[in-house]
Amino acid sequence: QQQVKQSPQSLIVQKGGISIINCAYENTAFDYFPWYQQFPGKGPALLIAIRPDVSEKKEGRFTISFNKSAKQFSLHIMDSQPGDSATYFCAASIEAAGNKLTFGGGTRVLVKP
Amino acid sequence: DAGITQSPRYKITETGRQVTLMCHQTWSHSYMFWYRQDLGHGLRLIYYSAAADITDKGEVPDGYVVSRSKTENFPLTLESATRSQTSVYFCASSESPAGGQETQYFGPGTRLLVL
């Protein structure tokens, strides 16, 4: 039973375009939603995170949109660059249950120059 | 500034053998985690530890054993390796999440092949 479902599995975008990755969760107790970025041969690294008390968070070219009623959240990468080519994972956790993350299946993003 | 390291980086073993993957962090983080990464499944939590001598099961603990006698080390042992345990294993650490979530910092991973 996958509690966090991520789509698409892969996407190709032209340089300067917008990359959009979507995640849906089932457990309404989740209260922390981070996105991790992973380059080949490396471990994942935190990119940006959001809590359900806000609907949007922006850091540079990366934006998280959060829809609590739909139990969905998404990552938008604006002005995508070849250096953004990586695998992106959404995740969710329950603050009161410690720091355990439940990850989505991942999205491999390729930005073509 | 070593951060979090894992060893070995690559390991080939045979079915039925015992294998231990090592994880070491230099930040004195209280929390440590083991995940496995498989295509299509993202990362799945195997075991985690809130402090030395405190460990608990994650989503996929069967076939694995952990220990944490020192804050900085969190070894993962496959007692009798099976082919289904072929995967990339990541160790992570974080500060105590008291008062809010803390960023998890991941190691470089160990790629394990069980023949």
Q: What is the pLDDT of residues A54-85, one digit of tens each?
A: 999 999 999 999 999 999 999 999 999 999 99
Half-sphere exposure of A110 (CA within 13 A, CB side): 5
Q: Mean pLDDT over all residues of chain A?
A: 94
Mean pLDDT of chain B: 93
Q: Residue A39: what are its φ and ψ, rounded to 5°?
A: -95, 155
Interface check for B24 against chain A (CB to CB < 8 A): the answer is: no
Chain A residues in contact with B31 by the CB 8 A cut-off are 98-99
Condensed to tens digits (0 to 9), the pLDDT of residues B7-36 reads 999 999 999 999 999 999 999 899 999 999
Are A77 and A18 within 8 A, CB to CB? yes
The three-point CA angle B93-B98-B99 to 5° equals: 125
pLDDT of residue B44 exceeding 80: yes
Residue B104 and residue A101: Cβ atoms within 8 Å?
Answer: yes
Q: Which pLDDT band holds residue A2 (cuts at 50, 70, 90)?
A: low
Residue B40's pLDDT band (boundaries 50, 70, 90)?
confident
So what's the pLDDT on residue B76? 98
Kindly report the number of other CB atoms within 10 A of residue A17's CB atom.
Answer: 15
Which chain A residues are Cβ-neighbours of B101 within 8 angstroms?
32, 34, 49, 93, 95, 99
